[in-house]
Structure 1
Amino acid sequence: MLHFGFENALDLARTSLGPLASRVQLHNGYVEAAPMGPFDAASCLLTLHFTTEADRLRTLREIHSRLKPGGVFVAMHYSIPHNPEERELWLSRCAEFAISSGVDRNQARTSAELIGQQLPILSPKEDEALMREAGFNEISTFYIGLAFRGWVARASTQAD
């Protein structure tokens, strides 16, 4: 395990912000711990693939409720097709990348298999449909790498 000398992600964020840290309020917890805003932008990175479809929709709605109309939302997480052959292909690519980076072959393959079995990974179409249902529009993919996908979207206005 790597240790960077930070007790948690908030310490890392505070350090990364450097002199700008005084302009930021960091909150530890679930989305409900965040102030109501309204905010110009929000991000949700590498977390939604741990949530069920219902919790994901609830989380997306909570994020949307904290954004100004037209506010920007960026999300990135595992998102792969449900077709078993395609799903295995995407997860095997993750394992092969880990192996090429020095991870033990058996460990990498076991990890990819467990990810596929245990995480409630949705397809890109399902993820985008949930974002729309939560009130986001102008949804656009900006990143695809291995089994990860990233989107940028805007919070709908009342007129949308």
Structure 2
Amino acid sequence: MSGAAHPGDAASYAGRVARHVPGLQDLHRMAALLLAEHVLENGRVLVLGAGGGLELRAFAQAYPGWRFDGVDPSPDMIAQARDILGAAATRVTFHQGYIDAAPEGPFDGATCLLTLHFLPREERLRTLRQLHRRLRPGAPFAMAHHSFPQADGQQDLWLRRNAAWLVSGGVPEAQAMAGMATMKERLPVLTPEEDAALLAAAGFREVQLFYAALTFKGWIARA
């Protein structure tokens, strides 16, 4: 196992993500509850972007009969996921790669949390379509990531608000502002309207917003 798999590193990762994402544990709990509306007690769930293992741990603890396939491109992050899951890791089959590395399914539900904001629009749509075809008809899908208005100064306004959130949690102001500049430069963030439209274009229906926390938004939909 790589050095990233040590417990201290996994704990550090969990703390960093929690500082950056408002209500992270509640996001995981809500996503699990929404999946459970349609996923049976022995359901099989696809988790895209599963590295780190935080949502897998939350789902596994809440629903002990569920089985999971976790997909992530980073072997170090998969190692961290195994570490943070502990004994529950036996219920997860990991696959290194992107959506094309995921089994064909069909799956009873799926999630993609804090991942899709890294993908340009066309690749995001392709990923959503590939995910959709791996789900049973009517299966739930929960996604959440950076998604906020981009026009007429709104992008800078929301990035400043995000930086203020980080500063209020103890992140040095210079570090927080540098992070916002990097996000503006590198992340192909879409608006909430565009993200919802991509879900519909990929074949999902009943698209509903369930989570909104500064620059983060989350949706639940059905295949």
Identify the residue that residue 127 of structure 1 maps to in structure 2.
195
Higher relative contact order (CA 8 A, sep 6+): 1
Identify the residue that residue 110 of structure 1 maps to in structure 2.
178
Which of 188, 191, 204 matches 1:136? 204
Identify the residue that residue 78 of structure 1 maps to in structure 2.
146
Q: Structure 2 CA distance, aligned partners of 1:17 and 1:106?
A: 34
Range with greater deviation from structure 2 (5-14 or 32-41): 5-14
The 3 A distance-change label for structure 1 pair 15 and 107 is closer
Q: Structure 2 CA distance, aligned partners of 1:18 and 1:110?
A: 35
Q: Which TM-score applies when normalising by structure 2? A: 0.64
Structure 2 runs not aligned, ≥5 long: 11-74
Q: Structure 2 CA distance, aligned partners of 1:18 and 1:41?
A: 23
Q: Structure 2 CA distance, aligned partners of 1:58 and 1:144?
A: 24
Q: Does 1:23 align with 2:78?
A: no
Range with greater deviation from structure 2 (13-22 or 81-90): 13-22
Identity of aligned residues (%): 47
Q: Does 1:14 align with 2:73?
A: no
Which of 152, 155, 158 matches 2:220? 152
Give the deviation of 1:16 after TM superposition. 4.2
Q: Deviations over 1:4-49 (max 9, x none)?
A: 3447332333344444433321112101000000001111111111
In structure 2, give the amino acid aligned to 1:90: W
Q: Does 1:46 align with 2:114?
A: yes
Give the deviation of 1:120 after TM superposition. 0.6
Q: Which TM-score applies when normalising by structure 1? A: 0.88
Q: Structure 1 CA distance, aligned partners of 2:220 and 2:88?
A: 24
